[in-house]
Structure 1
């Protein structure tokens, strides 16, 4: 037996990592500006994180949700405080797709409806319900196609209201900032409009903060750049565990829990909660949300100066930039010649940057110098 060949693999084998650095099995050092799809929030192998996990392993790593797990209450309280959502409840699961699946179910249960609105170039995961919300034909099997999912143009409030008027819409799901879609930052008026329309028509607004949450944008959640916006449901994962699989749904007080409504075997286990608590403790102790904001402002400003960069988008350390050439050869040069990991997107000319929140400006400056050299070279087109 061998792994099912569904990933286009880079010919690099990481064996060690620390902070924003990775070393392969040949001892070569790399700069990580992608964080494994925005997962590495507090840096690789952070000492407090590894200590927390090791201590938990020495006690108990897992038992099911049929018993008391005090760490879940501790995590819920801490997340509520740092995110400024202390009155919301938290349902724990294992991934962003699972978080979105459960948010969809909650909205459908609460409204008694089955229709959902999502947006073009959005991405909410690869499980059945989540993948039905995307317009990427590469990942949608016939089984995933549903006539009650309406994928509308991103930013088009008129189209949203028209669909809501037709009824049967349980919820609207939107990313705080579109990630795979190329780091598309929603206009505050668009998000405010979605909030107003969802309330007017009895739908539930779901903010997918799986990639854009946990301080990545210089706020705890990207939607908090819009003053006063309070979604019914907020989904999280990726940076929540810094590499340990965990996800969650923040649930507004309008929802009432009942036994058996949602469930999971592994979600909220002792080890996952210990990892997630360590992440929040480091974010708070090291003021990483402010670091993300400051480093992001520096990086955006400097990227805009580079010849060959045509547009820069994003907030904090969730950045996408377009170039006057295709991204693939540039990313290839970055990884092989300059030993730097970056990310792709649905835009063929777009590179995504999602580094650890505690990366320093010295590392960012080195990347900027290397990118400038690549774009100045006529051979990389």
Structure 2
């Protein structure tokens, strides 16, 4: 461990295997996964179809560069674009969410011949150069990431319009639902305003669906709740169920040329086999329908716990808001009750991102543990007069 660059705060847990929504550590202890490694696990850990697809592919060919024909890549593009509701869009494949946003921002700048970006307060778009410059967290933005980005409040139409009218904006980038920022979401009116005004001023609209996409919101993409069609859509996290893959869906308004974008590992045979199996399982097991059914059940259960002041988000991209910081609650859930959850920049928000295949019985188990953890953490803090 001493040779690792120490940038991650670590729980003292060592997972060694996982199935469905269950994770097992080296001592054999079982955990319920209600976080999916930042929302990456979409169809469940070690799904048999996924394991077979990856195993079969790696036994044939795992990688070659993008200088040859790759029918699996073509098949993934066709299935993803059709299944997501964008059959006329094209797909560029890369390896991660940050890389997807980096390419989205670069393509927007190529297209408009401009460089200024409009992003939003509490946004998180990644840690590479332009992506991190578009992230509202100065502590992770290095001096070298000196891109022209302005951060505006969600739903502030006047401020957006004031910037668009200056004529120097390349693109607007917005999350379907904010993830790290704390599950905030723009209104339908604001999304539709962005859609119409960016078209009017020749500005590219980028929808960051890296966490909120792939069925997590109850539709394939979260922006589809608002009846808009952005110019570029970035995807990653749930796309490969743990295998590194990302991409951007690109409107037919954009013209491709050789060398415009590129990647060594993006769209390799193994990644595409993994990603295709994810789409096939989401479709065959009706996981988006399951998201909606389980989400309604989860919210009903949450409404019966008085310490939960608000439930934010949609589908299975949810945040439980308390009137106290949740760091100790999250520790108790994992160490005392064997439940993985997540946090956000909003310190009183417990982030919930389980596999899309999670069951109502597992939701019941979660709330039993949550109630006990609340009692363990909160009640001792209540002073007796």
Mapping of 1:165-176 within 5 angstroms? 165-176=165-176
Pair 1:24-2:41 in alignment? no
Pair 1:11-2:9 in alignment? no
In 2, distance between residues paired with 1:87 and 1:61? Answer: 29
In 2, distance between residues paired with 1:212 and 1:7? Answer: 24
Deviation at 1:380, TM superposition (A): 6.2
Mapping of 1:253-264 within 5 angstroms? 253-264=252-263
- Partner of residue 225, structure 2: 225
- Partner of residue 372, structure 2: 373
Q: Which runs of 5+ in 2 are unaligned?
A: none
In 2, distance between residues paired with 1:306 and 1:8? Answer: 30
Q: Say which is worse superposed, 267-276 or 190-199, in terms of deviation.
A: 190-199
Contact 2:215 2:291 in 1 (8 A): yes
- Partner of residue 57, structure 2: 56
Mapping of 1:22-171 within 5 angstroms? 22-146=23-147, 148-171=148-171
- Per-residue CA distance 1:308-354 (angstroms, 9 max, x = gap): 11111111100011112111011011001110000000111001000
Deviation at 1:294, TM superposition (A): 0.9
Mapping of 1:188-267 within 5 angstroms? 188-227=188-227, 229-267=228-266
Q: Which runs of 5+ in 1 are unaligned?
A: none
In 2, distance between residues paired with 1:300 and 1:131? Answer: 33
In 1, distance between residues paired with 2:26 and 2:375? Answer: 31
- Partner SS state of residue 3, structure 1: coil
In 2, distance between residues paired with 1:111 and 1:380? Answer: 56
- Partner SS state of residue 365, structure 1: helix
Contact 1:99 1:235 in 2 (8 A): yes
- Partner of residue 357, structure 1: 356
Deviation at 1:379, TM superposition (A): 2.4
Contact 1:20 1:31 in 2 (8 A): yes
Deviation at 1:373, TM superposition (A): 2.4
Contact 2:207 2:233 in 1 (8 A): yes
Normalising by structure 1, what TM-score? 0.98
Question: CA, structure 1 residues 316+167, in 2 after alignment: closer, same or farther (shift >3 Å)?
Answer: same
Question: CA, structure 1 residues 239+380, in 2 after alignment: closer, same or farther (shift >3 Å)?
Answer: farther
In 2, distance between residues paired with 1:339 and 1:183? Answer: 24
- Per-residue CA distance 1:93-113 (angstroms, 9 max, x = gap): 000000001011111111111
In 2, distance between residues paired with 1:238 and 1:374? Answer: 29
In 1, distance between residues paired with 2:138 and 2:257? Answer: 37
- Partner SS state of residue 210, structure 1: coil
RMSD: 1.0
Contact 1:307 1:376 in 2 (8 A): no
- Partner SS state of residue 379, structure 1: helix
- Per-residue CA distance 1:35-80 (angstroms, 9 max, x = gap): 0000000000000000000100111000000000011110011101
In 1, distance between residues paired with 2:381 and 2:32? Answer: 20
- Partner of residue 268, structure 2: 269
In 1, distance between residues paired with 2:45 and 2:197? Answer: 41
- Partner SS state of residue 347, structure 1: coil
- Partner SS state of residue 144, structure 2: helix
Contact 1:293 1:316 in 2 (8 A): yes
- Partner SS state of residue 142, structure 1: coil
- Per-residue CA distance 1:156-191 (angstroms, 9 max, x = gap): 111111111112101000000000011112211111
